[in-house]
Structure formats: structure tokens, C-alpha cells
Amino acid sequence: MKKELLLAKSNIRKGKGITVGLILLIILAAAFFNLVLVIFNDVNKNVNKCAERLNTEDVNIQIAGDISSITDEYIESIINKNNVKDYELLRANIFYAVVTKYGDGEVTPNIVFEKKDSALNARIGKSEIVEEDNSISGIFIYLPYQYHTGGKFNLGDEFKVTILGKEYTFKIKGFINNITMGSYNTGDLLMIVDDDTYNDILVKNNNTYNYLRIKTKVNENVNKAVFGNDFLKTITSKDNTLSVYSGVIDDYIFGRTFIALIIGVSFLAFSLIILVIVFLMLSNSISNYIKENIETIGAIKAIGFTSKNIKVSFMLQFAILSVIGTILGLGLSYLMIPFITGIITTQVGIPYNVVFNPVVAVTTIVTLIAIIIISVLFFTRKTKKIEPITALRDGISTHNFKKNKIPIETSKLPININLAIKTMFINMKQNIITFIVVFFLVFNGVISLIMMQNFSIKPKISLLTFELCDGAIFTDEDKDKEVFEYIKSLDHVKNVRLISNESVEADNTTLSAYILNNDCSLKNIDVCYKGRLPQYNNEVALSGKYCENYNHSIGDEIEIGVGNQKAKYIITGFIQTTNNNGQEAVIREDGAHQIFKKDFKKLYYFDVDEGTNIDDCLDNIKNRFGDKIGSTVNFQKVIDGSITIFKTISNMMVVAMIAIGVLIILLVLYLLIKTLINNKRKEYGILKAIGYTSKDVILQNAISFMPSIILSVIISCFISSKIANPYLTMMMSSFGIMKATFEVPVTYVAVMGVGFIVISFLFAVLLSRKIRKIEAYNLLRGE
Amino acid sequence: MNENVLIKTEKLSKTFSNNGRMQHILKNIDMKIYDGDFTIIMGPSGAGKSTLLYALSGMDTPTLGNIYFKDKNITKYNQDKLALFRRKHCGFVFQQIYLVESMSIMDNVLASGLLTKKNKKEVVEEAYKLLEKVDIRREYVKKFPTQISGGEAQRVGIARALINKPDVLFADEPTGALNSKTGTDVLNLLTSVNEAGQSIVMVTHDIKSALRGNRILYVKDGEIAGEINIGKYGENNEKRHNELSDFLVRMGW
Ligand SMILES: Nc1ncnc2c1ncn2[C@@H]1O[C@H](COP(=O)(O)OP(=O)(O)OP(=O)(O)O)[C@@H](O)[C@H]1O
Ligand SMILES: [Mg+2]
């Protein structure tokens, strides 16, 4: 083993530049590999651990409306003790679509207020304090932690909300964490307020509660969704004027972490591509290395090394590189992780401490080393055949020139370009590698640019929300549609439509149903990606993801119900949204009345003519109807608020991918050009001797890589732009997006492509400057 | 002897450091190369012949002293300027031949020819003419250097060196790697181009090659130890042979 080690060490020392290049590639591979594993492993684990710590409910049943008849005794009497381990009731007041500031805009969550003691001391689904400033007193509020990480609020800041027509100005005393009521992505938010404010709100609400939350822990083997759904049925069959909803912990967690998962999946895709590139380069370097050292191999065989010795020494050599590379890569990974988890926390809103994950680290190290060793074995399989005599006497010719590509005699190219193209043909294998590498890097770049374009520059809201509009009005009391008619009558207002949201049930599953007024025309044409929206009262459009799971096709009949009221509907189309985990339905108002015997909570959407001030419009309606209006929403602000996270992620992704792309192309060109110059040392010496300047030869060398780079950039820009949407659909389908229709930012893609070509050329020239050192004179002396 | 000076050196010195030890390979050499001459450089191995040849030809820069090429001082030229100088004024023939193995015979010649002339048609014509002159069969021009014999390759090397009509052709032991028959062919070729007016400076080890020249310089320990003019090849070759032999004996050959 000792002599193999010596051999390995001397090899590493001899090829210093290549060694460093390879180590850098391994570092990148290890860093990304580890990063992805950590995201997939620890982010969910962290959330689950937190859920356990807070004894989070498995299923919660929410009942809103006049809940006076739903007494504690009644609940106790209907709860199925076979299924339920434990339950706890929370009676409170809920306020729908309350407009709050958030990040660069606004969000409109449903807010439930609680007192500090009961929130923190709940037995099930309790809240915990993440940060708190005890010096703050008076009118204070504890906000969900997400308002700090994503909403950019800090302790001591002012926080304003309007509840029942009264504007409250709180001081932020702390940030809390609650799994099922801690993220605007899952709809309802729990906020703790001081006792005086709590009582004030209660009095304003006629000393009654309008909201009951039954937090249940169920036994193992109980299907949570079915349990929740059955419970809702029991409630609505007693009183179907109530609004009910049931949620399952898994869905809450998914709802809170799915953007983290999107980040994870994107990084996974990018990392896989980087890994492919790294292994391509590794195997290429190994095979080149062996080729270049074939004479040495012959010589050391001659002095008594066996081919097994040689193989072992190669393996040792690359094992040493892999160990160094993977360990440094892990280090780099943990430098990057806080950055990524920071962004994840922004969205998840659950504190996350980066801890070293030894299992993942070992997996990274073992996987990478194994793959590297296997490729070494593969490429050294030929060493056995090398006879010392042949290797020493004639070397083993690496090239067998057969065809004179682009003969100078007949070509029209300037001589330097002509020689460059000849070099390219001789160096075909390396150029193919360059082509593949550039192709993937450009693909990564194009995807990042598309994400930037559609999440940051011109957010593709249509894929993230059910409906688009300019303004929205939420009201609970508009039985005679007075408000509706008034909005319609306003100048510069158009396309007023009503969209209510209620829970319905199908296939024993709770669906969130959008109920559209009969002549409603949705502005969001992307939402129904296949078929059409319902046009008659017996029609329904359903989430594509849901139909996939339950094997429903367009044209099928499906039974939908609320409590005991059921009706049959024909599926006319599939919709896609990222809300409610892809369990959504669209029916018309007249269709809904077949199963609902009550008035719906009403959300009016409307658009305005260009140049109309939306806030003035909303104020006008608010002033006219006063308390009748629950809240008013300036949609653009809500977009700005909820898009903050996407902006951050997509911008970061572009920067990261371009930086990594540039770094990788630099590394790859470094390794390839180094090999090329080595192989062509003699030829370049001859050219210099007969009067070619260094500049000529450097340009020839650099230009020889350009056709494959330029071709690859052009083809990749084109293909990537074409397949981006199907590719993103595939990646995002588990999040409910079934047919991505992202816009390709052609200009940016073109700029990136040109930039990539220019940068590659500059790198190639820079790296080729080593040719200056090849002196014709040294060649003549036989060096 | 033609009195037109082509190259002139003043106190030309070249020093190499070998493991920190300074080695003076060329010591204050003052010499001239004349236009039209077939100049031969001889001397013992390690004397500095090649070093001198490559200093004269702008392949390498001297440590001290000056080199004038047609009254132009090329001593201070940087590498790129020297390359431009070489392509314009010098042709080279090497012992190891040094054709570019990845290019055809024709392309080897053209790659050199197109350095100075832009008109491709003319260069191609010239290349065919030269290759014919050096006795390379027309169907060979598409072959690769490894597919032809050493002698043929060296003749291609000479064609490559001549394509730019250099002021002077430098040759460092051009027959060193060839057998005697092919070596003689190459020497005949060099002789005939010299007769046509081409200046040649050739380093050689053997008397047979040296006899092709009209002026022989003897380098010893980094200095020009002596020189002799024996007239052009072809007339009185026996007398020339004797003069050269005597000279070499005097020089301690
Ligand atoms: N670049 C260099 N670095 C160090 N020493 C050198 C270098 N070039 C030449 N030398 C030394 O200078 C001396 C003369 O070399 P040169 O090649 O000029 O000899 P030569 O007369 O051509 O010999 P030969 O007949 O064997 O070719 C030798 O000792 C050689 O080792
Ligand atoms: Mg020599």
C-alpha cells in the first residue's frame, strides 16, 4: 500500500492545476447534494417536531356562524370515542379577509383573536412564543412569526387592523408560532391581543362568539380526512346554515411547506444537472489523465509495479481528492444552508435552527466517493493491457489522423479561424462535453430567468390564485344584493362578480368550493386549464389534481353534497390552483342552491377602467354601506404582499444559477483547455517557430471551443424555452399546477445567451494565455 | 563571397542559469552572415551552435549584445514581434522535422504561406510549385506527415520553410534524423535553392553536409574559434574537401 500511496501522491503533485479543478468540481457536487438532502430531510422534520411540541391537532373542525346551538354537551354527544383520543374546544371570534400589511403589500387572512393565557396553555394545538418584548404594555398584539420573517414586521412596530369598523392600532409585543393557525397560506391566523382589546371586540360582537374550533387528536388508523368530513356531515345535517370546514394536519403542514418543497425540488433539479456535469468532467479528466500518463504507466510497470498496483494508486489518488472535495463541499453546503433555510423560514414561518446532520453528511460523502471510485475503476480497466515495452517504445498514439477537416487549400476562412476549426475537429470529444455542459447550464439559466420573469418581474398570479381582479369587497350581509347592484352601478367599474367560498363534500373528501354568480365571467382564464367552467346548475369544474387522484374525467357525473343534501353534477373542466392542496371545486350559484339552504359569505370581485383609483372606489363603497362591508381589498397590494417570498426566491435563484453557471463553465473550460494545451504543446510550439504569434495561437485555441459553445447556447436557449413549461408543469404538478403557462422572457434569455458566449470566450482566451509560455525555442531543444 | 551583410552581431552573449549556476554559452560573439551565402556552423557538441543559430534567427533573445538584421536591431523585440519578424524573414528546417501531425502535407505548407500573403490562390499555386520542386508527388499532398517517409517529410519541411521566400533559411542539422540516401536528397535540394540565390545558415556535424556550404564557422566554447571560405559547392569539390579537413584539424575537430 505504501508504494501505491507514494505513486498517488506524486501524481497529485504533478497535475496540480487539474487536481485543484477536480476538487472544486467535487466541492460543488458535494455542496449541492448535501444541500438538497438537508432541505428534504430537515425542513419537514423541523415542522413535524414543532407540531409535536405544540401537541397539534390531527383534525380540526371549524364551525362559523350562529354557533349557540352547538353546545359543549352536544359535541360530547356526537364525538365518536372510537376514533378520538382527545379533543379541545376553542370558542372565539373570527374575522374574514382582514386586510393587513405584509411585506411590500397586503394579505387578507381570516383572523382569530385569543387571550395570551388560553393560547399558550391550550392542551391541544397550542401556541408558543418565538420572540417577545415584555417591556411593551397597553394595546399590544402577538403576531404569527411569519409576519416577522416574511411580513417584515419587528417587535415594537405598529400594527393596524380594522375590526367591525373600528381601527385598532397595536404595538407588536411578540411573535408566536402555531401550526394550523400560523400562516396566511393556510387561511386562518391566530393572534393574541391584550385582555382589554379582547373584551372590547367581544362586546362589539354582542358578547357572542361566531366561531368554534374543535381540535381533535384521533387514534392511529383513523383516516383523518374521512373523519373530519363525517363530523361536518353530522353538524350540517343538524343545522345547515352554518359554515363548516375541516382541516387535516398533513394538509396544514403541506400548505406551509410547499414553497420550501418547490425550492427543494428546483435545487434538486439544478443539483442533478450540476452533478451530471461534474461526473462528465471527472470521467473525462480521469480518462485524459490515464491517456497522458500511459508512458509513465509503462515505465512504472517496467520497474515492477503490477497493473493492480497502478489501479489502486489511481483509486487512492482520486479517493484522496474526493475526500478533500466532499469535506470542503460539506463546509460550503453549511455556509449556503442558512441562506436557503432563511428563505424557507420566511415562508414556513416556523423557526428553524440549522444543525449539522451527520447522516446526510455521511450519505453525501459515501455516495460521491463511491461514484468517483466506480468511474475510476471503469476508466482504468484498460491499464492491464498496457505492455511496458510498447508503452515505452512508441507510446500509445492517442490520435490517428485520418481526415483532413476543412483543408486550408479550399476553405474560405481566414487562416487563424481555419486552424481553430481544425483544432475543434481534432478535439471533438472535449467539444462534445463542452456542448453538453453548456446546454445544461443554459437550461438552468433559462428556467431561472423564466421563474424570475413570472414570479418577480411580472408575477404570473393566475397560477397562484383562483381569480384575478382589481378590487374585492367582502360582506356577510347582502341578502338583497344591494351592495352588488351598487358596485355594478359605479362608473369605471366593470365585470362585477360574486365568488363565495364554502366547503362541500365528494368522495368522502372535503372540497373547497368556489360559488360563482350565474353570469360570472372569470378574468383568470388560466385557472381552467382543460375543458370549461360550469355554465349550468348541474355542472362542476374540479381540481385536476383531485380528479387524477380519484379517477374522474371530464363528462363524468359526480355526487357533491353538504350534510345530507346531495346532488349530481357533470364534470365540465379541470382547474388548477395552489390553494387547499388542489382540492377545489367550482359551481354556479344556482347549482350551489341545490345543496345549500343558506346564504353564502359573499366576496365581490370587480375590475376598473384603466387609470381609476381603486382605493377611492373601495372607500366610496365602504362609506356608503358602513358596517355592512366586512373588508375591502386592493388586489394589487395583496399580490405585492403574498408575492414577496416568490420574488426573493426567484431573484436569488437567478443570481445563484448565473453565478454557479459562470463558475462551472470556468472550471470546465479550465480543465478542458489545460488538457488541450498539453496535447497540443508540440504543435503550438511548431506554429510559433514558423512565425505565428502567441496572440494568433491563443485565439486559435480559444476560438476552437466557440462553435460548440455558440451552437449549444443557441440550441439550448431554443429548446429550453420550448420545454420550460412542460418541465415546470412536471415539477409543480404535485403543488396543484397542472399546466404551466409561464411567459418566456425572450430578451433576458437572449441577453443571457450572448453574455454566456462572451464570458466563455473571455475565459477561454484568459485560460489559453498559458500558451505564451510555450516557447518555440524550448520545443527545439526537445523539451 | 557576396559583400551584402544580412545579419550582424555585436558582443552577442547568452547566459543560462542551470540550477542557480550561471553558464555562459555564447561569449561576446561578433560575426556577420552574408546575403546569398550557404553558411555552415560547426563545432563540438554543446559548444553553443544551436543557441547561436536561434539567437541569429530571432527564435530566442540574447542575454547581452546586439543583433542587426539588415541594419535593423532586433535585440529588443518581444516574443510577438520576433514571431512577426520570423514569419517575414526566416525559414526553418529542423532536425526533428516538426511538421504539424494533425494537418495534411499541403496544409502544413499553406499554414506557413498564408502568414505573409493574403491571396490564397497565389499561395496555393506557390505551394504546389514548391512541393513539386522538392519532389513530393502531387497525390501525396493530402497525406499526413506520419504517412510519409522521413526524407519526404523533411523535404516538405523545406518547402514549408521556403514558401514565404525568406531572406534566410535556418537549418539545424536537417539531415540528422535521415539515412544517408535521403539525407543526400535533402542536401541536394538545399544546394540547389542556394544556387538560386537563397541564403542559408546550417548547423551540421558532418563534413559531407558542411561541404555544401561556402563559408564555415567553427564554434567552440561559445566563441567563433575560426572560419574559412571554401567557395561554392560544385567546383573543385576535392580541393574544398581538403581545405575544410585541414581547417577542422586546426580547430581541433
Ligand atoms: N534553455 C537552456 N537552459 C539551460 N541551458 C541551456 C539551454 N539551452 C542550451 N543550454 C545549454 O547550453 C549549451 C549549448 O547548447 P546548444 O544546444 O547550443 O549546443 P550545440 O552546440 O547545439 O550542441 P549539439 O551539437 O549537441 O546540438 C549546452 O550545455 C546546453 O545544455
Ligand atoms: Mg544543437
Count of CB atoms situated within 10 Å of the CB of B253: 15
A695 contacts B115? CB cut-off 8 A: no
A626, A641, A656 - which closes a domain = A641
What secondary structure letter does DSSP report for A41?
I
B96 contacts A687? CB cut-off 8 A: no
**Interface mutation vs chain A, best among B52, B77, B96, B115, most A CBs within 10 Å:** B115
pLDDT digit string, tens, across residues A67-93: 888 999 999 998 888 889 999 999 999
Judged by a CB distance cut-off of 8 A, whether residue A689 touches chain B is: yes
Which residues partner with A472 through β-bridges?
A605, A633
Question: φ and ψ at A582, to 5 degrees?
Answer: 65, 35
Least confident piece of the model among A216-220, A492-496, A744-748, B238-242: A492-496
Same domain, A637 and A648: no
Give me the mean pLDDT over the A712-730 stretch.
Answer: 93
How far away is chain B from the Cα of A283, in angstroms, using its nearest Cα? 25
Any idea which residue has 553553443 for its cell? Answer: B48
Q: What is the pLDDT of residue A774?
A: 85
Say which residue, B252 or A396, is predicted with more confidence. Answer: B252
- Residue A541 sits in a domain whose CATH number is 2.40.40.20
- Residue A180 placed within a domain: yes
Range of the structural domain that residue A773 is part of: 411-459+643-783
Same domain, A216 and A232: yes
Judged by a CB distance cut-off of 8 A, whether residue B84 touches chain A is: yes
Which residues partner with A432 through β-bridges?
none
Residue A695 vs residues A376, A701, A766, A771, B91: alpha-carbon distances, Å: 37, 10, 11, 9, 20
Residues in contact with ligand 1 by the CB-under-6-Å rule are: A 781; B 16, 18, 25, 43, 45-51
Same domain, A678 and A748: yes
Look at residue A396 and tell me whether its pLDDT is greater than 50: no
> What's the mean per-residue pLDDT of chain B?
93
pLDDT band, very low/low/confident/very high, at A4 (cuts 50, 70, 90): confident
A686 contacts B100? CB cut-off 8 A: yes
Which residues partner with A421 through β-bridges?
none
The CATH classification of domain B35-55+89-251, taken from the options 2.160.10.10, 3.20.20.70, 3.30.2090.10, 3.40.50.300? 3.40.50.300
Least confident piece of the model among A20-29, A117-126, B68-77: A20-29
Nearest chain A residue to B94 by CA: give it: A780
A212, A241, A270 - which closes a domain = A241
Helix axes A16-38, A635-689, angle to 10 degrees: 160
Same domain, A271 and A332: yes
Q: What is the largest CA-CA distance in chain B?
A: 53
- Residue A392 placed within a domain: yes
Q: What sections of B57-144 are H helices per DSSP?
A: 79-89, 105-113, 120-133
Give me the mean pLDDT over the A166-194 stretch.
Answer: 92
pLDDT band, very low/low/confident/very high, at A630 (cuts 50, 70, 90): confident
Determine the distance separating the centroid of ligand 1 and the alpha carbon of B78, expressed in angstroms: 22
pLDDT digit string, tens, across residues A468-488: 899 988 887 777 788 888 998
Same domain, A195 and A143: yes
How far is it, in rounded angstroms, from Cα A297 to Cα A10? 13
- Residue A547 placed within a domain: yes
CB-defined contacts A:B, below 8 A: 95
pLDDT digit string, tens, across residues B114-163: 998 778 999 999 999 999 989 898 999 999 998 899 999 999 999 999 99
Say which residue, A623 or A289, is predicted with more confidence. Answer: A623
How far away is chain B from the Cα of A649, in angstroms, using its nearest Cα? 50
A641, A671, A698 - which closes a domain = A641
- Residue A58 placed within a domain: no
- The residue extents of the domains of chain B are 35-55+89-251
Q: What is the pLDDT of residue A277?
A: 80
Same domain, A635 and A672: no
Tally of structural domains, chain A:
4
Q: Sheet holding B168-172: strands in order across?
A: B90-93, B168-172, B199-203, B38-42, B215-220, B223-229
How far is it, in rounded angstroms, from Cα A687 to Cα A683? 6
Residue A411 vs residues A405, B121, B124: alpha-carbon distances, Å: 10, 11, 12
Same domain, A651 and A630: no
Nearest chain B residue to A679 by CA: give it: B102
Q: What is the pLDDT of residue A383?
A: 66
Same domain, A229 and A304: no
Look at residue A585 and tell me whether its pLDDT is greater than 90: yes
Give me the mean pLDDT over the B90-118 stretch.
Answer: 91
> What's the mean per-residue pLDDT of chain A?
87
pLDDT band, very low/low/confident/very high, at A783 (cuts 50, 70, 90): very low
pLDDT digit string, tens, across residues A92-121: 999 988 889 988 888 888 999 999 999 999
Q: What is the pLDDT of residue A781?
A: 65
Chain A (397-436) residues lying within 8 Å, Cβ to Cβ, of chain B:
399, 401, 404, 407-409, 415, 419, 422, 426
Same domain, A145 and A233: yes
3-state secondary structure of A630: strand
Say which residue, A761 or A583, is predicted with more confidence. Answer: A761
Question: φ and ψ at A592, to 5 degrees?
Answer: -70, -35
Instruction: Residue A689: list chain B partners with CB under 8 A.
Output: 59, 86, 92, 94, 98
How many angstroms separate the first and last alpha carbons of chain A? 33
Give me the mean pLDDT over the B179-201 stretch.
Answer: 94
- Name the nearest CA neighbour of A298 among A207, A389, A359: A389
Least confident piece of the model among A281-295, A670-684, B69-83, B109-123: A281-295
How far away is chain B from the Cα of A427, in angstroms, using its nearest Cα? 11
Strands (E), B19-142: 21-34, 38-42, 64-69, 72-73, 90-93
Residue A525 identity: I
Look at residue A400 and tell me whether its pLDDT is greater than 80: no
pLDDT digit string, tens, across residues A445-465: 998 899 889 888 888 888 778
Look at residue A278 and tell me whether its pLDDT is greater than 60: yes
Q: What is the pLDDT of residue A780?
A: 66
Say which residue, A164 or A332, is predicted with more confidence. Answer: A332
Q: pLDDT exceeding 90 applies to what percent of chain A?
A: 39
Residue nearest atom 13 of ligand 1, based on CA coordinates = B46
Judged by a CB distance cut-off of 8 A, whether residue A715 touches chain B is: no
Q: Which residues 6+ apart lie within 8 Å of A295 measured at CB? A: A391, A392, A395
Nearest chain B residue to A696 by CA: give it: B80
The grid coordinates listed for A403 are 481526415
Q: What is the pLDDT of residue A550?
A: 92
How far is it, in rounded angstroms, from Cα B58 to Cα B69? 9
Give me the mean pLDDT over the A594-606 stretch.
Answer: 84
Same domain, A391 and A431: no
Same domain, A688 and A637: no
How far is it, in rounded angstroms, from Cα A107 to Cα A92? 21
Look at residue A699 and tell me whether its pLDDT is greater than 90: yes
- Name the nearest CA neighbour of A475 among A111, A190, A164: A164
B83 contacts A404? CB cut-off 8 A: no
Q: What is the pLDDT of residue A363?
A: 93
Enclosing H/E stretch for A636: helix A635-689
